[in-house]
Structure 1
Amino acid sequence: MITKRQQNLIQILRKEKSFHKVSELSKILGCSQRTLYSDIETLKQNGFDIISKRGVGIKLVEDGIEDSLIENISLDETVERRIIIIKRIFINEEIITLNKLSEEYLVSQTSIKTDLEVIENVLDDGLGAFLKKDKLGTRLITMPLERKLNLLTKITQFIMSNVVSNQLELTTASYDILGNFYSDSIVKVANNIVYSFFRKNIATIPDVYIDNFFHFFLALLSQLSNDKHIDYQISEIDKSKHAFYIGSATSLLHKASLRLKINYTNEDVQYLSQMLVNYRIEQKSFNFEKNELDTIINKVSEVMGNDFSKDDTLKKQLEAHVSAMLSRLKFGTIVKNPFLEQIKIDFSILFNSIWIAMEHLSEFLEVTFNEDEIAFLTLYFQLSIEKNGNVRRILVVCPTGIVTSELLINRIKKLAPSLDEVEVASIDEFLELDASRYDLILTTTKIETNKANIHHISAFAKNEEISEILHHSLNYSYDDSSSFSNDIPNYVLLNQQFGNKTSLLNSVKHYLTDKKLALEGFVESIKEREKLGSTELPAGVAIPHGKSEYVNESFVIYIQNKRKIKWSEHFVDSIFIIGISSKDMKKTKQVISRIYHLINDEHHLGQLKKATNEEEAVKYLDGKK
């Protein structure tokens, strides 16, 4: 899915057929050259052929490009206008007039008046008018910060509900829209801090409220960044009873202050503590058989090769979570996980392994799982893995802890084993941390130290350099193919010419039945799985899998397609289709690890995509090249 800025870039390149300098385009689009290069790479991954010449610029090759490639992913113009008006009133605190806005947006004053009425209805909090209208114009009334925070939380939910209604996933495009409303730095800091807190304290805030809490925290940081604070507390929170929440609130605000250079007061801490207590609503216990919980834990233990049944804390946490989860799934109640995409990237092997395990249990549990629920489960099991010392901790230190090293952090996450933990910290945060708690610290800023676990690295370091550091510091074995022993056979279909996803899957169905590897229902189960969340990756790869009940003999099919085809949001030309039989469930982690090991190695993946014969492709798939 392309963003509005990327869409505008394509329109410019289509209109003017000659080469364009990136420096000039960045000025037109109002972004940095670095951001523009990132946009160009994203467009290439989405099927656009953009060529570049050193010293000349970039150019779009339109041969074969259909208009359907350029999807209008921006919000409805009316909704977008209303969001901008809300920002001008609530964030910029402007006084707006019907006449001025109608001239700016080239619509009638009646349309602007309707916009304001809709805004008042959507944000109505039952506390009376929040807009003042007089001959000077319309503006926000003076109000306590507590009320404004509640209104901003509703605004964020309004923005995100329109993102979802426009069928945009909660991915980069969604956060771009929030970043335009608040600021990129505030959105990224809020997201990172709440995500880290939720990962470590998953049982603290019920799943159904985590999205709301993120929206509230985002609103709070936006106001603190403008030096606006809570004036007073109606009643001081009980320190002895709620020490954990007071400590958590202090930690959350302290991290934000170091990254955003903002101040916070004792009243701010008290208010955030109270909000954490408010969001800590006891999850209702639903009737469910204890053997359902045991079956889930045992099945995940089987696919991961890790006995989770001995973790009593995990069992206690899952007792409340699983009962609520099964009730939600049985009654069709959808709870969005705001960190879904991060979880899929950070813990890709665990996420996919749990999904396969839960699909195997779907008939027994009488539910159909979705991506959001799988992501919640992933965090519980990941926390158990970390607690039992089965992961290594990596810290990435950069000047602000926000944007500077984002590309570096993402590459480290790809190169490090999926179960390992990668954290980020600003310089100020790092100075307060105990460095001995981390197995490896990578810093983009020079730090005077003689500690062996701290390494200086460029934010633009090559993958080879990162791999070398990980290999020597943590004994990662990137070239040891024996670590991925393979007794699940690979099947290879090279040089295919499928025009779309449907034709590819239909062909796979015939291939599987002809070889008696799977029953006809296998491909249908893939299609149902894809409806619940796409299995594609930005690298031009998709990793679909079907239900084990339809698999006769386990397999991995690699399909090399001559042209990129639209999978869901991205275009792909390499497809790994996974089929694991019930008897081979214990090999799930091994199979998924082997595939991710390959696709995270840009060189080997590139060579696999160019393989000209089956023997050569199988060697890459088996890790022998």
Structure 2
Amino acid sequence: MISNRQKQILWLLQKSDGPLNAKAIGERLGISDRTVREEIRQIQQKSDELGVKLKVLRGKGYLLEKVDYRRLLQLEENGLFAEQEERVKYILKRLLLEKEYIRLEDLEADMYVSKSTLHTDLKKVRKILKKYDLTLANRPHYGTKVEGGEFRKRLCLADSIFGWQNKPGQQNTPFNQDLFQKVKQILIRAISKYRIRFSDIELQNLATHITLACKRIEDGFTIEPLPFHFKEPYTFERKVAKEITGEVEKISGIPFPPAEMDYILVHLLGTKLISKHIARQVSDEIDDIVNAIFRKLKIQFHWDFSNDKEFRNGLTLHLQTSLNRMKYKMNIRNPLLNEMKTKFPIAFEGAVAAGECIEAVIHKKVNEDEISYLAIHIAIALERMRKKKRVLVVCETGVGSAKILSYQLENNLQMRSKLWTRSAITISLIMICHGWI
């Protein structure tokens, strides 16, 4: 068997006029140098089966020396860029990473697709770019190019291409893997020093953005002043951002200008930066949103959380970071999205209603990943509410009938509770039977 990635590497080497090194291949395919070398090692093990021979030229890279074109053609027909998702990823990578215009004819030749197929794919590319306020511009005799700010381009790169679609724990980045790991260690030291609480996903995402910043600066794509103003000084967060960028400069040798430091600050604001150093007042905006959510959940679902201080505090703390992500269009992936939708549909439905309250205030669309995080808070609050319920069984036919009914109720409620939690519900039953009163 040969993977789609290995097919793409062979395809690149076949089209190249000379040798390609691991870095050049990795940049075209959006994978690390280390991943390229590992894939090529596996190709070499299957070289006889594939009818190819790879030659390693020291200091130059890899050269496809022997080729069975009939077998390579079969590989292309059996899945290379056969799926639109793969083609759209490739087009986005080419457009966002290139400095110059790209001719559509080159894209057609690269992916072995027709003009009509490419135009269909470009419609989807434009739709993705629009989410980040980016446009696709065409210039006669030159080609196509993405237009928009570097800040938006980086968000699109990270969200649409680099690693965000992978499962938690997988690290598939298009840049130097060694630098990526060093950046993670810098973040871990900062977390420990300032006693900040980060989730694994937030750590992975922030490390990805910082390493992406290094690559873009190195390639000559410096970020412009951010298209918005911070309403607060964020003294603590700026201190952390300055320390992190200082450490990154030391290990990478790449200078971070002030705008790049603001870029890191924005991503810190998009995480739950909880520390003993922060004691920020809740804004009126967040307080209004929380109150609106409580009212809507009570009216629409008859859930009265007015006395649930834990839910209010958790929701307030969550909104302090999620509102920043929504305002700055910083998407975050929730690995529990599908589980929340299928196993906790009622909580998810409530979260959709809560999202409408947020949209009414900030005038920004709340995506499903953010909604699923809200659903987690609602599901926990519902569980607390369910555990407080007591059941009153009124039966006039005797104690035996009442006991049967109570056991049926208890079993039914405990079965339902498995939709919300693995722990069992303790039900208090009071039986009022005929002749007791």
Larger Cα Rg: Structure 1 or Structure 2?
A: 2
TM-score (norm 1): 0.31
> Normalized against structure 2, the TM-score is what?
0.43
Higher helix share: 2
